[in-house]
A and B are shown apart, each in its own frame.
Chain A
């Protein structure tokens, strides 16, 4: 992929809500993450969405992105819970008040972006991201055991996959 210099680029925020909270990445160009994080809400789980929305507002205020990227959260083949569907709607409603564009990608969109890298499953996509984005290489969680819950850090990789899909679809990126 082409590397972008830190001059002036669309600031793209990708968010992937999951059970503990959400993973997020902020990119300024293909393979150029600027900031990233995993939000885990450990207290006040009853108000999980409200807590997530508060943390999301802080990120928006701090980084002022142009575009918010989400993964498809309603309709087949998506199987996101009602809580996550509701959270995604709240995120969209919030960014709408800030004039931030929203793009929602399907799994098929993401798989298409990662097909040239030979990655299809979430794990394979995470490995491809870790390989191509230096900043994330050390953050790849170990392969999940079937009896264990998914690592919250996978939210970060799922969000990064959305950002790469965005650049792939806007024709800015190319796999090496």
Chain B
């Protein structure tokens, strides 16, 4: 199995027959050259660009920029495990509630990261 490509922005752009210039115009405030850089990850996408692309293509960040999304998921997984560990012995309602979120988050992250 090959790892996913770092980004599928180009795939989604071409799927909808958009040129780099047209996508730049659609997103606003950027150039075709910038789109080219985002497509090769020569420039990492800003959060604004990520939200704009999610909106345009109706695709989650994971489908558009998997490398970046997986790196974020990996970091969150580590943080969630650390917080979950600290809450392990607590039985108050708030801690139980937090554990519910964290357990679900850990499972989702592990699935995404194929762990």
Contact = CB atoms under 8 A, between A and B. Distances in A.
Interface string A7-45: 111110000000000000000100001111000000000
Contacts of B14: 36, 135
A11 B68 CA distance: 20
Given A135-B14, A135-B15, A138-B17, A6 B2 contact: no
B21 interface: no
Contacts of B17: 138
Given A6-B8, A135-B15, A66 B2 contact: yes
A8 B15 contact: no
B82 interface: no
B63 A9 contact: no
B63 A8 contact: no
Nearest to A63: B5
A7 B5 CA distance: 9
Nearest to A138: B17
Contacts of A6: 4-5, 8, 62-63, 66
A7 B4 contact: yes
B114 interface: yes
Contacts of B114: 7-8
Contacts, number: 38
B38 to A, nearest CB: 16
Contact of B11 (A9, A11, A33): A33
| Interface range on chain B (Cβ under 8 Å from partner) | 10 to 19
A9 B8 CA distance: 14
Nearest to A37: B14
B5 A8 contact: no
Contacts of A7: 4, 66, 112, 114
Given A5-B63, A138-B17, A10 B4 contact: no
Contacts of B1: 8-10
A64 interface: yes
B2 A64 contact: yes
A134 interface: yes
13 contacts: A5-B63, A6-B4, A7-B4, A7-B114, A8-B1, A8-B3, A9-B1, A10-B1, A33-B11, A34-B5, A34-B8, A66-B2, A138-B17
Given A34-B11, A36-B14, A65-B2, 19 more contacts: A5-B63, A6-B5, A6-B8, A6-B63, A6-B66, A7-B66, A7-B112, A8-B3, A8-B114, A9-B2, A11-B2, A28-B2, A28-B4, A35-B11, A64-B2, A66-B2, A135-B11, A135-B14, A138-B17
Top 3 nearest A-B pairs by Cβ distance?
A135-B15, A8-B1, A11-B2
